[in-house]
A and B are shown apart, each in its own frame.
Chain A
Amino acid sequence: MTTLRWLGPIALCGLALPVFAHHSFAMFDYDHRITLTGTVTKFEWTNPHAYIELDVADANGGAKHYSIECASPNVLTRLGWKFNELKTGDKVTILVNPLKNGKLGGMMEKTTLPDGRTLGDGNPPGGRFDQ
């Protein structure tokens, strides 16, 4: 069952900048998050970013496919992720900052694993650190 939950804009205070490695992340909407529950079709433990490919069932018995960008394996490792944390077929729930252009992709904020553990992406809520 798909869960698609929009949260309201996140209040930001002070000068807020996204803290990332190799590119601006302004293509993602940090004012909104969606919660996607689905089935992992691939987990790519690669640089410059890890990716979770996810099939999310739709209301018509089909599935929508999302490409979800994560931090780098370097950052994820420091947050407790392992290279084999996800495998194809795993059921997960992912909090995502969606692409602003409406395409089916986004930036992972946190993932609830099949065993119930939750691992983050190193981003504070809203995807920004106050500087």
Chain B
Amino acid sequence: MRTIALMLSLAALPVLAQTQSKGNPPNLNGAWAVYRAGRGAAADPKLAAPAAGPMLLKSPYADAYKKRQAAEREADQRGEPLGNRGTLCIPYGMPQMMSAIYPLEILQTPGQITIITEAFSEVRRIYLDEPQAKMGEVAPGYYGHSVGHWDGDMLMVDTIGIKEEVLGFRSMPHSDQVRITERFHLAAPDVLHDQVTVEDPVTLEKPWTFTFAYRRTPNYHLLEYVCENNREYLDDNGVTRLKLQDH
């Protein structure tokens, strides 16, 4: 009984009290590339990212998602692939940017962690030991508003304020009420895991969890990426076409 009362009183504490860092944070500074079996450093299956959990969408989102996937497969087989925002060189945003198709860089500075991706030069800023804003108070964007704190050697990050139009990981549909929580930790001195949980009361039956794994690439300097010469365009049917140079 006393335990329950204690739990209730803890739950009633303001959010700020739960977001103060404790412990000595590990050093995450530097460049990281996807940790993948068979490429780069020898991959240890124990360090690879665990398989993603099931993405359980509510109806009618589940039906629309299945239809779109089937249409994409059919279009690919026809040789007329359907395009999306990525085709138009619109940056990924959260959480897709963390899939790090090209390496990313983490900068740890007092009170802030900054993540820069090579693809599309995307930047997200995680403010440490600050309270999260209320849902609906953040102007929807590609990276939203991220706050974080260290819990021992685990970096906990909470992100809200992601625009509906931003394509989710694996094209998961989401509303403007989506919340992304991340747990970063070193699975080995040079292997970083980012366990991502996406919650969305509108589109998801239950939270969806998946993990990205990265290996440290100490001597790598990120390259620039400016999408200045996109020759792919979408025709009136949404099909990806390549602009050829007339000669």
Contacts and interface: CB of A to CB of B under 8 A. Distances in A.
Interface of A: 21-27, 29, 41-42, 44, 46-49, 51, 53, 55, 65, 67, 69, 72-75, 77, 99-101, 103-105
Interface of B: 72, 75-84, 86-87, 89, 101-102, 118-119, 223, 225-232, 240-242, 244-247
A46 B229 CA distance: 6
Contact of B228 (A23, A25, A29, A47): A47
A69 B241 CA distance: 12
B119 A74 contact: yes
Given A24-B87, A74-B225, A105-B244, 4 more contacts: A22-B87, A26-B76, A65-B247, A67-B242
A47 B119 CA distance: 10
B81 A27 contact: yes
Contacts of B81: 23-27
B101 A27 contact: no
Contacts of B102: 21, 72, 74-75
B225 A51 contact: no
B121 to A, nearest CB: 10
A14 B207 CA distance: 31
A63 to B, nearest CB: 8
Contact of B232 (A23, A26, A55, A77): A23
A22 B89 contact: yes
Given A26-B76, A41-B247, A49 B231 contact: yes
Contacts of B101: 21
B225 A47 contact: yes
